[in-house]
Structure 1
Amino acid sequence: MNWNPGDIVRVTQRTGEYITEVLEIHDSKLLVKVLAVTKYPTQGDLHSSYEVDVPLFHQRPALSYMEKFMTPVQGVIRYNGAIPDYKESVRQAMEREMEKLAKMAAWAERCLVELEKMHKEAFTNTK
């Protein structure tokens, strides 16, 4: 796809996703600037998923409003919707991520309860 300065596109940068404006085209990369956040970056050590006892548990903030970065052309998707207010987009993306993690925690807790029940049934009073 051909991109032009001024095009509004959605891109992934590290583990976050952003609505951005194309500023410049450089061969197979685009220089873009952040307008809004659609997915808040993942927290923690990306090389040790779901581990909390790691040397450095990374805290990743979203990229800043108007922050510029280079992105590969192949991951760029045209964005045709309304561009939300940056600060509101950060709040909503962060809250979605928090809700997702809370659901995962509740699910994991329930799985553990059920596994403990089955373990008790299977291995208690067996001869």
Structure 2
Amino acid sequence: MMMNKEAKEYRIGDIVKAEVRSGRYAAELLELDGPRALVKVLAVLEHPDQGDLHQPYNPDVAMFHERRALSYTEKTKVLLRDLEPFSGEVPDYTESLKAAVAQSIQSLDRLNRWTAKALESIRQLEKDYKL
């Protein structure tokens, strides 16, 4: 049994939420090793972000990173601070991946529509300002 700084107790076999490289997963806790834990991925709760995490929403970076979701039963090390207890039923991996990708697409579409609307507004202001 280990405790992280938020005083959460974890035991081997617990189902946890794990944040890994901007993605969030439901995972089984396999090992506790100091400040880290080894987890096995069971479902995708949030698909990893694309692009440069240090320059979000900037398409003009030297390397635009493509991040894939971790695979079903893939094992990865996670800092204990990046774990949370998971409650409820663990969704099917394939269905959870499908839902996470759809949610990412929906968010990006909304951002794209916001950008178009903001650009339209600023172009109108540019005319109003007679620039």
TM-score bracket relative to the smaller structure: over 0.9
SS in 2 for 1:123: coil
* CA offset digits 1:40-99 (Å, max 9, x no partner): 001112233222233321111100100111111122111111111101100100000000
**Superposition map of 1:51-62 within 5 A:** 51-62=58-69
* Match of residue 21 from structure 1: 28
Q: Which one of 8, 30, 34 corresponds to residue 37 of structure 2? A: 30
Structure showing greater Rg = 1
Alignment root-mean-square deviation, CA: 1.1
* Match of residue 121 from structure 1: 128
Distance 1:56 1:27 in 2: 33
Structure 2 unaligned segments of length 5 or more: list them. Answer: 1-7
Report how many residues are paired: 124
* CA offset digits 1:74-125 (Å, max 9, x no partner): 221111111111011001000000000000000110011011111101116x
* Match of residue 80 from structure 2: 73
Q: TM-score, normalised by structure 2?
A: 0.89
Return the letter of the residue paired with 1:69.
T
Runs of 4+ in 1 over 3 A off after TM superposition: none
Q: Which one of 104, 108, 112 corresponds to residue 111 of structure 2? A: 104
* Match of residue 89 from structure 2: 82
Return the letter of the residue paired with 1:56.
M
Distance 2:36 2:29 in 1: 10
Distance 1:28 1:53 in 2: 36
SS in 1 for 2:91: coil
Structure 1 unaligned segments of length 5 or more: list them. Answer: none
Q: TM-score, normalised by structure 1?
A: 0.92
Correspondence 1:91 to 2:98? yes
